[in-house]
């Protein structure tokens, strides 16, 4: 994968940039001036990333993922990530039939709503999943492939399905490995 150099990243005009950031030159980044990017973040080929987004450290967006932060914003806390082809969006049209829909129609004819999204530390989302506006994924949530997350999750839990339901608790062993990894930077 080809990544932007540090100079090229600085030229893109992010709000804040950490160290050792790998953003593919094939990713589409819209409104970087609203994005804060922590250390060791990686964004792969063909991701589409737009609007207000805060990435903590060691966040990964795998190929073909789409994150639309809008004005409300998405926060990816440390060590969280999306597997291939996930969709995370803070805004949605009104599907009830009360208003017009879709991006070609001016806002005055639409019932567009927006709400922020939070992915806690160590959250991992399986391939081709969808996260709805307003959802908060608690620390340590894991979500299986092809899931639709419409509600907040409980910490250290594994979910899957559409809509996603908790199937079991998630182990916390990874916290020991996190500490070992972070100790290298002290």
Residues making contact with ligand COA (CB under 6 A): 83, 126-127, 142, 144-146, 158, 160-161
Distances (CA, A) of 64 to 82, 87, 140, 141, 176: 10, 9, 23, 21, 31
Q: Which is nearer to ligand COA, 91 or 161 (CB)?
A: 161
Q: Which is nearer to ligand COA, 24 or 129 (CB)?
A: 129
- Name the residue with the smallest CB distance to ligand COA: 144
Rounded to a whole number of angstroms, the minimum distance from the CB of residue 26 to ligand COA is 19
Distance CA 118, CA 131 (A): 10
Distance CA 184, CA 153 (A): 31
Q: How many CA atoms lie within 13 A of 74 on its CB side?
A: 27
Q: Which is nearer to ligand COA, 27 or 83 (CB)?
A: 83
Rounded to a whole number of angstroms, the minimum distance from the CB of residue 129 to ligand COA is 8
Rounded to a whole number of angstroms, the minimum distance from the CB of residue 79 to ligand COA is 13
Q: Which is nearer to ligand COA, 43 or 83 (CB)?
A: 83
Q: Is 69 helix (H, G, I), strand (E, B) or coil?
A: coil
Rounded to a whole number of angstroms, the minimum distance from the CB of residue 60 to ligand COA is 9
CB 55 within 8 A of CB 37: yes
The one-character DSSP state at 27 is: S
């Amino acid at each position: 994968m080809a990544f932007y150099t540090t100079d090229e990243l600085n030229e893109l005009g992010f709000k804040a940039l950490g160290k050792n950031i790998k953003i593919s030159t094939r990713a589409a980044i819209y409104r970087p001036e609203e994005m804060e990017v922590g250390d060791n973040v990686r964004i792969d080929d063909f991701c589409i990333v737009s609007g207000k987004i805060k990435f903590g450290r060691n966040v990964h967006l795998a190929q073909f993922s789409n994150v639309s932060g809008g004005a409300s914003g998405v926060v990816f806390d440390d060590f969280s990530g999306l597997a291939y082809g996930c969709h995370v969006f803070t805004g949605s049209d009104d599907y009830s039939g009360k208003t017009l829909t879709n991006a070609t129609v001016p806002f005055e004819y639409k019932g567009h709503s927006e709400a922020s999204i939070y992915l806690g530390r160590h959250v991992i989302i399986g391939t081709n999943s969808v996260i709805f506006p307003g959802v908060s994924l608690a620390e340590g949530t894991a979500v299986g492939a092809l899931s639709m997350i419409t509600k907040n999750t409980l910490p250290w839990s594994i979910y899957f399905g559409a809509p996603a339901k908790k199937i079991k608790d998630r182990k916390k062993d990874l916290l020991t490995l996190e500490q070992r990894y972070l100790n290298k930077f002290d």
